[in-house]
Amino acid sequence: MKILILVLIITNLFLLAKMLKYRKASLHDEFTTLPNYRALNKYLKKNINRSLKIAIIDIDNFKKFNKISIRKGDEVLKEFSDILKHHLSEKAFIARYRFGDEFALVFNSDYEADNELNNLKDFLKTYYLKSLPEMPDYRIGFSFGISFHEKEDIKFSKLLENAELMLAMKKKENNHKNVL
């Protein structure tokens, strides 16, 4: 009887460990190790009573890396996420946004997110990507859109949509500048 109880305890502990592992995996992007879209939504719901700013970031000309190779695109994505973590993890909740080269950052509403993201853009102008030794003169850039959340506005889907619209406007503006 004691052996049976011991076996049941060990089995339950094993199952609990597996469950916790899969729960963590369900909230994190396996590749970048950042929280994923599901974790972002969970974070937003948890902070529903706070005023927030949400930025959606998109790496400029990301297709260029995937044209070299999908693996190269993955390396750039991983390195960029590491840069975000290094520079912004204490200032914002950072998540992989959906499945491409987009990221979501959630700041307190009184935080100067525009300035912080522009400072990061300036840093990247002189940063050499370790994942691109064959392109030593290339500098990575990104565009971003920011949306604001007031405490009484609880439609996060609209908040994310507004940030995506702002991002689209910035990308269109940047593409227009590059053509001229």
Within 71-152, strands assigned E span 93-96, 102-108, 142-149
pLDDT in tens, the chain (180 residues): 778 777 777 777 776 666 656 555 588 888 899 999 999 999 988 887 888 899 999 999 888 888 888 788 899 999 999 999 999 989 999 999 987 899 999 998 878 888 999 999 999 999 988 988 888 888 889 999 998 876 665 577 788 888 999 999 888 887 655 544
pLDDT at 21: 60
How high is the pLDDT of residue 36?
93
The verdict on pTM exceeding 0.85 is no
Report the pLDDT value the prediction gives residue 152, as an integer from 0 to 100.
60
Q: Which helix (H) or strand (E) holds 166?
A: helix 156-179
Domains of the chain from N-terminus onward: 29-179 (3.30.70.270)
Report which of 99, 176, 107 is spatially closest to residue 143, judged by C-alpha positions.
176
pLDDT at 94: 97
Q: 48: which 2 tokens?
A: 């529903």
Residue 95: closest CA among 170, 158, 33, 22: 33
Strands 142-149 and 52-59: antiparallel
Q: Could you tell me the two tokens for 12?
A: 């339950």
